[in-house]
Structure 1
Amino acid sequence: MFSDLIFAKPAQNIGDQDVHLWLLDTRQYEENHQLALFRSILSESEHRRMLQFRKPEAQQRFLIARGALRLLLAALHPSLSPADLAFVFNDFGKPALHPNPLNIHFNVSHSGNMILIAIARGRECGTDIEKLDASRNIRELAAFYFHPHEHALLLHAPDEAAQLKHFYALWTLKEAFIKAEGKGMAIAGDSFYFSDIDSAHPQVTITENSQASVQPWRFSQQFFGDDFSMALAVAENDELELSVMCKCLIV
């Protein structure tokens, strides 16, 4: 059970150098008692947002993502229950805890049956997970959304399989960066570009016309099995080393 995993070993501490990544498979949380727990801790506004989704599977994915986020954040605030947590949103819709005495930052992404949650302290963070889809016209998407430098690298991939992975590595890195910045579509996809994406530390270059900030970031990207690409963007801090711990909540 999800609740057993969370409360058996609560993540009660997170240091300034830590980023916790939680990976959830929604297929593992479909029993009535598990979903009832999630429903019991969502706010009224979250319930309304959930019901705005027409498809039952989309409603359930939202329910699990928000419920899991509340459980994880509440574990860091022992004086608060998951239902007590309150959120505020910036002008672009990025949520934050309020009040937030521990300076906790978080981000949530989902694709298919997988949900990815990133939690950091004292650092902005963004994350993205995408299910690989070979039926998409990735060349057309890259031409429209990517910087020309990224598009050119994509076209030089040796075969279609490599091109697909290259596309989704770039896509998730770019989405994680935009989400970490918290400015939504105000940051155009072609106003920055990534290089060294096959290395442990991909690098980003910001163009002159970009709305992205000039603060340093650290990035990571990896594939989960053969089906998903995951990426993380975390604000850099020269004084602290960064440790990323990935915890798969899959029973």
Structure 2
Amino acid sequence: MQVWLVADRRSDPLVAELLGVLDDEERRRADAYRSADDRRRFVLAHGALRHIVAGALGAPPGGIRWARGPHGKPEPAGRWRGVHVNLSHSGEVAMVALCPSHPVGVDVQQVLPRLDAVAMARRWFPPQEAAAVLAAPGPEARANRFARLWARKEALTKAHGGRLAEGLRVAVPPGGPPPDTPAADAWAHGYRVHDIPAPAGYRAAVALPAGADPAITHHDWSGPAPP
């Protein structure tokens, strides 16, 4: 499995090139952003996703078509398909995960020390995880722990293709869910979650089916490959 780091780049020519390979729906979503920074980062993330998938399939980036699952998870469809992919972006960072044989979920979260991590954890996480966030020594450590937990949960949810509310209530330590997962969340036993490297100020995780090879190769995406 491959994980690609896509960093924000203030390059008008690159953004224009990537905008050219997006489909109509992606362009509409980009245009909906009021912030120029957010719009640029969206184009970079989704343009990079298309180039990464195209490179794996031998396809033109603009020829990739997407089919969405019941809860919106996209996968390559139509003529160019045969790999599983997932995209996450937060702040100035995006990550793309690509797996040839198994569904995959990836999530990157920016650590936000000003966030009320304790209140958020109490609202969304199981009690033992909310207590773990509270026990961290200070706001920065609490924000860091919260971001790690959220990234694990969202990666798990995205691999499964379910609703985020399902994943947030599952306690997810590194390597997978614990044995005491409630019956309603038994689906989580089919996956394993792994922390992965992220830039300073971010936390990230990937999730794969339990039987998948956990070996991951990491890449930095610097732009479209020369023709």
TM-score (norm 2): 0.88
Alignment of 1:153-232 (within 5 A): 153-187=132-166, 189-190=168-169, 192-195=170-173, 197=174, 201-205=175-179, 206-210=181-185, 213-222=187-196, 224-232=198-206
Aligned to 2:83: 104
The answer to whether residue 145 in structure 2 is matched with residue 145 in structure 1 is: no
Q: Is the 8 A contact 1:102 1:121 kept in 2?
A: no
Q: Which residue of 1 aligns with 2:57?
A: 77
Q: How does 1:87-102 map to 2 (within 5 A)?
A: 87-99=66-78
1:154 is displaced (CA, Å) by 2.4
Q: How many Å separate the matches in 2 of 1:56 and 1:180?
A: 30
1:231-246 alignment, distance < 5 Å:
231-237=205-211, 241-246=213-218
Alignment CA distance shift 1:50-1:224 (3 Å)? same
Please report how far the alpha carbon of residue 208 of structure 1 lies from its aligned counterpart in structure 2 after TM superposition. Answer: 2.1
1:24 equivalent in structure 2: 6
Cα deviation for residue 52 of structure 1 reads 1.5
The letter of the residue matching 1:236 is A
- Pair 181,250 (structure 1): closer, same or farther in 2 beyond 3 Å: same
The match for 1:16 is: none
Q: Counterparts of 2:6 and 2:18 in 1: how far apart (Å)?
A: 14
In the comparison of the two structures, how many residue pairs are matched? 222
Between 1:47-56 and 1:159-168, the stretch displaced more is: 159-168
Residue type matched to 1:77 in 2?
L
Q: Distance in 2 between matches of 1:187 and 1:100?
A: 32
Any idea what SS the aligned residue of 2:216 has?
A: strand
Q: Relative to structure 2, which stretch is displaced further, 93-102 or 135-144?
A: 93-102
Give the Cα–Cα distance (whole angstroms) in 2 for the partners of residues 83 and 94 of structure 1: 19
Do the aligned residues in 1 keep the contact of 2:154 with 2:167 (CA within 8 Å)?
A: no
1:9 aligns to what? none
Distance in 2 (CA, whole Å) between partners of 1:61 and 1:232 is: 21
1:126-145 alignment runs, 5 A limit: 126-145=105-124
Distance 1:58 1:92 in 2: 23
Cα distance change of structure 1 residues 163 and 31 upon mapping to structure 2, 3 Å threshold: closer
Q: Give distance in 1, aligned partners of 2:51 and 2:167.
A: 34
CA contact (8 A) 2:87 2:97 kept: yes
Equivalent residues of 1:217, 1:235 under 8 A apart:
yes
Paired residue for 2:25?
A: 45
Return closer, same or farther for 1:185/1:173 CA change in 2, 3 Å cut-off.
closer
Q: TM-score, normalised by structure 1?
A: 0.80
State the match for 2:45 in structure 1. Answer: 65
Report the more deviating stretch, 167-176 or 132-141: 167-176
Instruction: Describe the superposition over 1:157-211 as per-residue Cα deviations: whole angstroms up to 9, x where unpaired.
Output: 3444433322211111011111111112351522x1123x4xxx3544531233x
Q: CA deviation at 1:155?
A: 2.6
Q: Which moved more, 1:94-103 or 1:31-40?
A: 94-103
What one-letter code is carried by the residue in structure 2 that aligns with 1:58? D
Taking only the aligned residue pairs, the percentage that are identical comes to: 24
Contact 1:88 1:96 in 2 (8 A): yes
- In structure 1, what residue type is equivalent to 2:41? R
